[in-house]
Amino acid sequence: MIPNSLEIRPIAGALGAEISGIDLAEDLDADTIAATRRAWLDRLVIFFRAQDLTPARFLGLARRFGKVVEYPFIKGLDGFPKITPVVKLEHERVNFGGLWHTDTAYLEYPPMATMLIAREVPPSGGDTLFANMYLAYETLSPGMRRLLDGLVAVNSSAKADVTKTREDRIRGGARTEAKREYIAEHPVVRTHPETGRKALYVNNGHTVHFKDMTEEESAPLLKYLFAHQQRPEFTCRFRWEVGSLAFWDNRCTQHFAINDYPAETRIMRRITVCGDTPY
């Protein structure tokens, strides 16, 4: 049952829905949380508009869906270390998360989910793209699926393209206890623990090669998979406003923060919800 106040409107064929009729700052009842989670599992990423959440309320909301964990490289807000500022200032040229990726796939327990809320947005630009990794897997040929089902990917936090996207944030706000590099091995095709569906689980931001293969040997197939994952029919695009909140399933989606707002500021706050070991 969907509570009468909720309206769930898909925004694209592949994934994504806007949910209205809900104030996330309130103490939501169990039925509303359950309906929201069902919509999230069905649409992979859900969006809310005009939400006024203090850091404490934002953190409390995320905890209704799972255990909240800290991002490994950047300090959180003062008094709220598990809320990460995601910032691009007007003089900065590179944005945080500006490439297709799955969040922190280089961790042994990559996130189940991420919540992101907008605090300041440019007058135009700064949208985020999301992609459906169920579809990325299911549209591969049977032979390619058989090949990938037996492969393991090596993921690193030190892959060059993704390290550039966090340079400005680390310069002034790095966590001193962070490792120089995090590395984790995960199956190339993972099974979603709640839906049972298979999803393609490599990404251009963190995947460096296949286990027991060199980077050179792995590169042609990875190049193909990275391009395949970005096909327009797998995606949706979200236009941010102040108070917009996105909540995505990190186990079966990828996202890309578009850097098309030079000399403008964009300020977001992010919370990561802990996941389990992919299988």
* Overall average pLDDT of the 174-193 stretch: 86
Residue 38 lies in a domain: yes
**Catalytic center residues:** 101, 103, 255, 270
Q: How many domains does the chain have?
A: 1
Dihedral of CA atoms 70, 75, 78, 83 in degrees, nearest 10, equals -40
Question: pLDDT band for position 96 (50/70/90)?
Answer: confident
> Is 175:72 a contact under the CB 8 Å cutoff?
yes
> Is 10:37 a contact under the CB 8 Å cutoff?
no
Q: Identify the pLDDT of residue 1.
A: 54
Please, what's the b/e burial string for 72-87 (b: 16 or more CB within 10 A of its CB; e: otherwise)? Answer: bbbbbeeeeebbbbbb
Strand ordering across the sheet containing 235-238: 235-238, 128-132, 253-257
Bridge-partner residues for 185, per DSSP? 154
Residue 278 lies in a domain: no
For tokens 């944005």, name the residue. 95
For residues 47 and 3, give the distance between their C-alpha atoms in angstroms, rounded to a whole number: 17
Q: Identify the pLDDT of residue 168.
A: 58
Residue 221 lies in a domain: yes
Residue 2 lies in a domain: no
Would you state the structure tokens that stand for residue 128, as one six-digit string? 């985020």
Residue 188 Cα distances to 35, 68, 141, angstroms:
30, 25, 15
Q: Identify the pLDDT of residue 40.
A: 98
Residues 6+ apart with CB under 8 A from 168: 88, 89, 92, 94, 96
Domain housing 210: 7-273
For residues 72 and 19, give the distance between their C-alpha atoms in angstroms, rounded to a whole number: 30
> Is 66:37 a contact under the CB 8 Å cutoff?
no
For tokens 């947005």, name the residue. 121
Residue 63 lies in a domain: yes
Query: Tens digits of per-residue pLDDT, 213-232?
Result: 999 999 999 999 999 999 99
* Overall average pLDDT of the 22-43 stretch: 96
Residue 279 lies in a domain: no
Look up the CATH number of the domain holding residue 199. 3.60.130.10
For residues 203 and 100, give the distance between their C-alpha atoms in angstroms, rounded to a whole number: 7
Tell if the pTM clears 0.75, that is, is over it.
yes
Residue 242 lies in a domain: yes
Q: Identify the pLDDT of residue 27.
A: 93
Residue 121 lies in a domain: yes
Query: Tens digits of per-residue pLDDT, 155-174?
Result: 999 986 666 665 555 555 66
Neighbours of 102 (CB within 10 A): 30
Which DSSP letter does residue 194 get?
Answer: T
